[in-house]
Amino acid sequence: MAPLQDDKGTEVTEVSIPKRPISTVVFIIAMQTEASPLVEKFQLAQESNSVFPNGVPWVRYSGKYKDLNINIVSPGKDVVLGVDSVGTVSASLITYASIQALQPDLVINAGTAGGFKAKGACIGDVYLASDVAFHDRRIPIPIGKLSTGDSLDMCPHDEKAIVANDATVKDMEGAAVAYVADLLKTPVIFLKAVTDIVDGDRPTPEEFLQNLAAVTAALDQAATRVVDYINGKNLSEL
Amino acid sequence: MAPLQDDKGTEVTEVSIPKRPISTVVFIIAMQTEASPLVEKFQLAQESNSVFPNGVPWVRYSGKYKDLNINIVSPGKDVVLGVDSVGTVSASLITYASIQALQPDLVINAGTAGGFKAKGACIGDVYLASDVAFHDRRIPIPIGKLSTGDSLDMCPHDEKAIVANDATVKDMEGAAVAYVADLLKTPVIFLKAVTDIVDGDRPTPEEFLQNLAAVTAALDQAATRVVDYINGKNLSEL
C-alpha cells in the first residue's frame, strides 16, 4: 500500500482493493444441513488433506465453479456432544483459520436465522445483511440489522439488545464472522434465510426444525444467485 | 501415538504426555491491567516481531523465568472501540493462534472474575478452576465450577445456567480458552481472582472497578506461586 496525499497534503492510506476479478470465495456455514445442498450445487469435494490443524472437526469442501474457487467451511460435529458446532466461538475460529490458510477475496457467511415479523420478515425470506451486531454481549454494542448471539432462544435481556440493534434477522454466527473478517481485512457478506419468526407465537425449536429443510433450499438458491452475480466481477464492482 | 491394546484386546489410544519438564507456558490474559503486573514480575519484553497476522491488536510478552519460557498473550485494544478486547471470541482466537505459533506445554488462563458468596467466594480470593462451562449458550450445557459468558452482568436466564453449572466463579473467557485448548489437545489451567460478588448487593461495574487493582495483585502472587510450582516438573506431576 503506497502512502498517498490528499488535497491538503495530509498523508492518507490507500485501501488496497484488488483490481482483478474475485477468485477465491470461502463460505462459512455452521450446520451440515445448511452446507450439503450448496456442496452438491457447486459440485464440491471434501478435502482430505486438511489445511487445518490435526484433530479439529472442521470440514472443508472445495472446487471450481465458473471462474471461482469455491470453498465451503463448516465447524463439523462437536467431538464430545456429536452435534454441529454452532455459535460464535467455532465460527470465529474457522473464519480465522480459513482466511489464514486460503487468503480468500471474499467471505460469505450463509445460514439460517430467526426473523422478526415486526420488521416484515417471513419464513423462507433470504436476507443479504450488511450490518451485524451482537445482542448477548452486555457491554457497549454498535447498531446493526443482523443480530448475533449464542442461544437459539431470545431471553428478555437479549430482546432489549436486539431491538436496540434494530435487527430484522437474528443468528448465532454472523457478528463473530464479521469481527474476524474485519480483523484480517477481508470483505464479508451475510446471507441469512429465515426459518422461524422470533416475535411470533410458535416455539423456536419446533418452528426451526420444521422449516429447516425447505428454507435451506431457499438459501441454496439465493447463494447460487450471489455466486453467479460475483463471478467475473472485481470487489469494487459489488 | 502408538495404538495400544487393553486387557480385552480392544485397541486404545495412548495419550501422549511429554516425559520432560514443562518448557513453554502461555498465559492468556484478557485485560492489560491484569497482564501488566505479571509482565513486570517475570521481566518479560513485548515482542515486536509478531507471530500473529499483520494488523491484529494482539500483544505478546515473552522471556525466560527460571527454566520456563513464559509468554503472556493479550487480545489488546479493540481497534474501533479502544477498550480491551474481552470476551469469548477474542479469547478463543488468541488461544488458537498462540497454540499454533508457540506449541506450549501448558496454557494458563489468568484473570479477574465474579465470585458467588453462596459458594464461599470473597473479594481477592484466587481460584484454581479445573472445570469450566458456558452460561449464555442456551443449548445443552455441561456442568462445571467456572462459568463463562460474554457479559459483565448476570441476567436471570444466565443466572439459571450459572446455578445449573454449580459455579463458584464467573468470568468472560475461561470456557472459550478451554474449548480451544481441548480442540488442540493442549493442557490448560484457570486462575481466577474474585473482583466482585455476583450474588451480593453492589452493582458489578462499581465493585469490579474499585477492586481491580488490588485483586490483580492477588492474582499476580497466585500466578507466581503456580509458575514456581510447575518449574522443573513434568505435566504428569501436576
d(CA A227, CA A208): 26
Domain ranges of chain B: 20-232
Q: Which of B53, B158, B180 sits opposite A93 (nearest CB)?
A: B180
- Residue of chain A minimizing CA distance to B176: A89
- Residues facing B196 on adjacent strands: B114
Question: Nearest CA to CA, how far is B88 from chain A (Å)?
Answer: 7
pLDDT at A140: 33
Start-end of H helices in chain A: 32-41, 88-102, 156-164, 174-183, 204-230
Q: Which of B88, B134, B138 sits opposite A153 (nearest CB)?
A: B138
Give catalytic status of residue B206 as yes or no. Answer: no
Q: Which of A56, A96, A157 sits opposite B157 (nearest CB)?
A: A157
Q: Which residues in chain B are closer than 8 Å to A153, comparing Cβ atoms? A: 138
Structure confidence at residue B133 as a pLDDT band (50, 70, 90)? low
Given an 8 Å threshold on Cβ–Cβ distance, is B151 in contact with A134?
A: no
Per the CB < 8 A criterion, the answer to whether A146 and A127 are in contact is yes
Give catalytic status of residue B196 as yes or no. Answer: yes
pLDDT at B204: 83
CATH superfamily of B20-232: Nucleoside phosphorylase domain (3.40.50.1580)
Q: Which residue has the higher pLDDT, B128 or B231?
A: B231
- Residue of chain A minimizing CA distance to B54: A184
Given an 8 Å threshold on Cβ–Cβ distance, is B92 in contact with A89?
A: yes
User: Active-site residues of A: which are they?
Assistant: 34, 196
Structure confidence at residue B135 as a pLDDT band (50, 70, 90)? low
CA distances from A70 to A63, A100, A233, B176 (A): 6, 16, 15, 29
Q: Which of B157, B156, B22, B31 is nearest to B87 (CA)?
A: B31
Per the CB < 8 A criterion, the answer to whether B198 and B120 are in contact is no
d(CA A147, CA B208): 28
Tens-digit pLDDT profile for residues B72-91? 999 998 877 777 777 888 89
- Residue of chain A minimizing CA distance to B155: A157
Structure confidence at residue B59 as a pLDDT band (50, 70, 90)? very high
Q: Retrieve residue B45's grid coordinates.
A: 519484553
Tens-digit pLDDT profile for residues A37-50? 999 999 999 998 78
Given an 8 Å threshold on Cβ–Cβ distance, is B183 in contact with A55?
A: yes
Given an 8 Å threshold on Cβ–Cβ distance, is A184 in contact with B56?
A: yes
Structure confidence at residue A202 as a pLDDT band (50, 70, 90)? confident
Tens-digit pLDDT profile for residues A163-180? 777 778 888 788 888 889
CATH architecture of A19-232: 3-Layer(aba) Sandwich (3.40)
Given an 8 Å threshold on Cβ–Cβ distance, is A93 in contact with B93?
A: yes
- Name the interface residues of B facing A (CB cutoff 8 Å): 53, 55-56, 79-81, 86-89, 92-93, 96-97, 100, 134, 136-140, 142, 149-153, 155-158, 176, 179-180, 183-185
ipTM of the complex: 0.80
